[in-house]
Amino acid sequence: MSKIEIKHLKKRFKFSKEPLFTDINITFEENQIYGLFGENGAGKSTLMSLIADYNFVTAGEVLYDGEPVHDNSKALQNIYYMSQNNMYNKNDKVKKIFDFVSKLYVDYDVELQNRLVKKFRLDESQKFNKLSTGYKSIVRIIISLCVPCKFIFMDEPTLGLDARNREVFYTSLIETYSENPRTFVLSTHIIEEIDQIINHFILLQDGEIKMDSSIDDISEKSYSISGPSEDVDKYIQGINVLDSDQLGRYKTVHFMDELPNREKPESVDIEKMKLQKLLIYVMEKEGK
């Protein structure tokens, strides 16, 4: 099984007073779908560009199957980075861009590309620079799903997409992942839309990885409990609460722990804590 390892990665830009990354350590395993989260400016795009060797590390290393990715064509042919920067001739028609990319990759999936063009209702005869922001994202999405790479990093893939096309993207991602498993790393701000898709999430904040966990691990011990205030307080006695909301006598608490070993009042409801709620709490706590 292939993997990408980032070890003690540091990144400082020339005219910046503070480093962007101080000590990044993380491993991306094969055949997983990761969610990469962080506030604006946290460095999500930069991290992806460093992994794909589009940018240079200040210190540390990025390894593909134990070998440095820098100037390593064998490793880099298995890594694809979908950037928001325009990498194509802006005056080229979409069809010409697709033809160009298909010639770069021997096993590029032209059949899947054609199906996605129809699903997204993309006009291939349009020039790339005449497309809306959403349809420029769609061109990038189609290429990302069709390249024969084991690791695909997608930076804000749904930028500019309307609700319909976001749904087409998520459905197509799951379909192609099921048919041909490989690793996708999605950087996005729309947490609630992908928390049912990803199986691993990463939180990047203050130059470090603050959270790195599988969804299953978090789901097993992250809960939201709601009900009449007095019943909730009695049931969760002894639990370390992360956050709580109250409206009149009705209360909701959020925590990461095992459920209390006592009978649950009928008036109390238990749900798995939403990933967005958990990440917001962690970001606010770490930011203090």
CA 261 from centre of chain:
35
pTM summary value? 0.88
Side-chain half-sphere exposure of 229, counting CA atoms within 13 A: 7
CB 253 within 8 A of CB 231: no
pLDDT tens-digit profile of 222-272? 899 999 999 999 999 999 888 888 999 999 999 888 899 999 999 999 998
Question: Of 233, 221, 228, 234, which Cα lies nearest the Cα of 268?
Answer: 228
pLDDT tens-digit profile of 187-204? 987 778 788 899 998 999
Q: Which domains does the chain have, with CATH numbers?
A: 3-214 (3.40.50.300), 221-287 (no CATH)
CA 260 from centre of chain:
32
| pLDDT bracket for residue 32 (50, 70, 90) | very high
Q: Residue 286's pLDDT is what?
A: 56
pLDDT tens-digit profile of 172-183? 999 999 999 999
